[in-house]
Homo-oligomer: A and B are copies of this chain.
Amino acid sequence: MGKSFSTYETAWCPGCGNFSILRCLKTALEELNIDPAKVLMAAGIGQAAKTPQYISANTFCGLHGRSLPAATAAKIANENLTVIVNTGDGDSYGEGGNHFIHAIRRNVNITHFVHDNQIYGLTKGQSSPTTAEGHVTNAQADGNLNYPLNPVLLAIAAGAGFVARSFSGDTKHLTEMMKAAISYKGYALVDILQPCVSFNKINTFSYYKERVYYLETDHDYTDKAAAMIRAMEFGDRIPIGIFYREEKPDYHTKHKVLASKMPLVDQKYDPMIVQNLMNEFV
C-alpha cells in the first residue's frame, strides 16, 4: 500500500455521485501504489472539476474546457508524473470538445475521467452535450432539441486506445476501471455515469442503477467494430466496462526528443546547440 490521499471538505451536495468517484479515485491510486507527490490532478471548471481540490496531490485547475491541452503538455514535460484529468461532461465534450478529439489523436499517456451527469451542474442545470433529447432544463424550457453525443462511441471512432464506461454507484467496478485506465499507456477515457441530485431529476441514481449492466466477459475489446456496436447501446440498457482497448505506441515512444532520453524537464540546456544553429546562418 502506498501513501494515502487525504480528504478535504467538499462543496458538493449531499448525495452527489462525485463523492464516490472521489473515493474510488483515491482507492485506485493507493492500490496502484502511486506516490501522491508524483500525481498531477488536472481539471477544467465545473462541479466535477473541483475534484483536484479534494485530494492531496499536485493540482492544475485551469480554464473551463481546457484541461486536456494543459494536462497533455504537463505530461510531455515530465513523463514521471501520473497525469489524471477529472472533469465534467460539459467541460470535456462541450467547451472542450475539440481538445477531446485531438487529445485522442495525440495519444499522450494521460487518463481522462469524465464525471458524466448529463447536465451542467455548477451553472445550475442547463443541457450538456450528453443530455437526452427532450430533457427539459433551465435553459431548454421546451426540451433539449439537440441529439446527445455518445462519448464512448465518439472516442472509439476518433481513435482512442482505451475506452470504458462506469457508474459512480458501482464503486468496485469504477475502481477497477480507474486502475485499468491509469495503467494503460496512452490516452485513456472512462466516461462515468454520475447522478446530479440537484439538477438532473431524470438521470438519477436509480435510473442508472436499473439500466447498467456489465459487458459480457467474452466481449472482445480488441475488436473495434464490435466495440462500436456495443457502444451504440445506450437507453433502456447501458453496458459498462472496457469497450475498447488497443496497444499502440504513445506519444513519448514515438517522439525523438522524448523517447530515448530522460524526461524533458530533466534534459539540460547545452549552449553549443545555439552556437551550432547560429553557424547555419553565417
Residues of B within 8 A of A148 (CB): 105
When the two chains form the complex, which single residue of B96, B102, B154, B248 contacts A129, counting CB atoms closer than 8 Å? Answer: B102
CB neighbors of B among A217-244 (8 A): 224-225, 228-229, 232
Bitwise, A246-282 to B at CB < 8 A (1) or not (0) is 0010010011100000000000000000000000000
Interfacial chain B residues near A142, Cβ < 8 Å: 256
Interface residues of A in 189-233 (CB under 8 A from B): 224-225, 228-229, 232
User: Are B129 and A147 neighbours in the complex by a CB distance under 8 Å?
Assistant: no
Interface size class of A (residues with CB under 8 A): 35 or more
Q: Is B254 a contact partner of A145 (Cβ separation < 8 A)?
A: yes
Check if B157 sits within 8 Å of A157, measured CB to CB: yes
A145 touching B97, Cβ below 8 Å: no
A145 touches B232 (CB 8 A): no
A253 closest partner in B (C-beta)? B145
A146 interface hit (Cβ, 8 Å): yes
Query: What residue of chain B has the Cβ atom nearest to residue A248's Cβ?
Result: B147
Copies of this chain present in the complex amount to 2
Within 8 Å by CB of A157, from B225, B228, B255, lies B228
**A254 to B254 alpha-carbon distance, docked (Å):** 48
Report 10 cross-chain contacts, Cβ distance below 8 Å, ordered by A residue: A98-B98, A101-B149, A102-B146, A105-B149, A145-B255, A147-B159, A149-B158, A154-B157, A154-B158, A156-B157
Q: Which residues of A contact B (CB under 8 A)?
A: 93-94, 96-98, 101-102, 104-107, 129, 142, 145-150, 153-154, 156-159, 224-225, 228-229, 232, 248, 251, 254-256
Q: Contacts A105-B147, A225-B225, A225-B228 given; 15 further ones with Cβ under 8 A?
A: A93-B101, A94-B102, A96-B98, A98-B98, A101-B129, A101-B149, A102-B129, A105-B129, A107-B147, A145-B255, A149-B158, A149-B159, A154-B154, A157-B157, A228-B228
